[in-house]
């Protein structure tokens, strides 16, 4: 799946909805993205996550 800056995704580890900000430096060969939480008390918190952990819907 191709990640696009500005779109919202779900972070599979926590289930939080996040907005993709920009790609960051790869970590151990994994593509990484800077994301920002969009909901809850921690809305606005930014973190770097593996691209493979971002999905468009939770099953």
Taking only the tens place, the pLDDT of each residue in 9-54 is: 999 999 999 999 999 999 999 999 999 999 999 999 999 999 999 9
**Residue 20: strand pairing partners:** 35
φ, ψ of residue 58 in degrees (nearest 5):
-90, 140
What DSSP letter does each residue of the chain carry, written as one string? ----TT-EEEETTT--EEEEEEEEEEETTEEEEEEEE-SSTTTT-EEEEEGGGEESS--
Q: Specify the pTM.
A: 0.91
User: Can you tell me which residue has the tokens 């800077």?
Assistant: 34
Q: Where are the domains of the chain?
A: 8-55
**pLDDT for the residue 59:** 82
CA gap 4, 37 in Å, rounded: 16
């Amino acid at each position: 799946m191709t990640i696009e800056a500005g779109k919202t995704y779900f972070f599979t580890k926590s289930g939080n909805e996040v907005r993709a900000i920009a790609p960051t430096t790869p970590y151990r060969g994994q593509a990484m993205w800077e994301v920002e939480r969009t909901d809850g008390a921690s809305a606005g918190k930014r973190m770097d996550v593996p691209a493979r952990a971002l999905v468009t819907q939770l099953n």
